[in-house]
Amino acid sequence: LTIMYGCDNFCSFCIVPYVRGRERSREASDILREAEALAAAGVKEIMLLGQNVNSYGLADGFDMDFADLIYAVNEIEGIDRIRFMTSHPKDLSDKLIGAYRDCEKLACHIHLPVQAGSDRVLKRMNRKYTRGSYLELIRKLREATEGRIAITTDIIVGFPGETEEDFRDTLSLMEEVKYDSAFTFLYSPRPGTPAAEYEDQIPEPVKHERFERMREILDEGMAENNAVYEGRIEKVLVEGPSRKNRKTLTGRTESMKIVNFEGRPEMIGQIVPVRITEAKTYSLVGEVMEWDTRQ
The answer to the question of residue 183 lying near ligand SF4 (CB under 6 A) is no
The answer to the question of residue 88 lying near ligand SF4 (CB under 6 A) is yes
**Count, residues in the chain:** 295
Per-residue x/- track, 91-130, ligand SF4 (CB under 6 A) = ----------------------------------------
Among 10, 18, 183, 282, binds ligand SF4 (CB under 6 A): 10
If binding means CB under 6 A, how many residues of this protein chain bind ligand SF4?
Answer: 10
Nearer to ligand SF4, 55 or 250 (CB): 55
Q: According to CB under 6 A, which residues from 38 to 57 bind ligand SF4?
A: 51-52
Segment contacting ligand SF4 by CB under 6 A, of 7-15, 167-175, 215-223, 286-294 = 7-15
Segment contacting ligand SF4 by CB under 6 A, of 10-18, 177-185, 245-253, 277-285 = 10-18
| Ordered DSSP codes for the chain | -B-EE--S---TT--HHHHH-S-EEPPHHHHHHHHHHHHHTT--EEEEE-TTGGGTTTTTT-S--HHHHHHHHHTSTT--EEEEE---GGG--HHHHHHHHH-TTB-SEEE---B-S-HHHHHHTT----HHHHHHHHHHHHHHTTT--EEEEEEEES-TT--HHHHHHHHHHHHHH--SEEEEEE----TTSHHHH-S-PPPHHHHHHHHHHHHHHHHHHHHHHHHTTTT-EEEEEEEEE-SS-TTSEEEE-TT--EEEEE--GGGTTSEEEEEEEEE-SS-EEEEE----TT-
Q: Nearest Cα to 233, choosing from 208, 219, 215, 254?
A: 254
Nearer to ligand SF4, 20 or 264 (CB): 20
How many Cα atoms within 13 Å fall on the side-chain side of residue 119? 5
CB of 203 to ligand SF4, least distance (A): 24
Nearer to ligand SF4, 183 or 282 (CB): 183
Nearer to ligand SF4, 168 or 190 (CB): 190
Q: Nearest Cα to 12, choosing from 147, 149, 152, 125?
A: 125
Segment contacting ligand SF4 by CB under 6 A, of 5-13, 67-75, 176-184, 212-220 = 5-13
The answer to the question of residue 16 lying near ligand SF4 (CB under 6 A) is yes
Among 1, 5, 9, 74, binds ligand SF4 (CB under 6 A): 9
The answer to the question of residue 193 lying near ligand SF4 (CB under 6 A) is no
CB of 6 to ligand SF4, least distance (A): 9
The answer to the question of residue 12 lying near ligand SF4 (CB under 6 A) is no
Residues that bind ligand SF4 (CB under 6 A): 7, 9-11, 14, 16-17, 51-52, 88
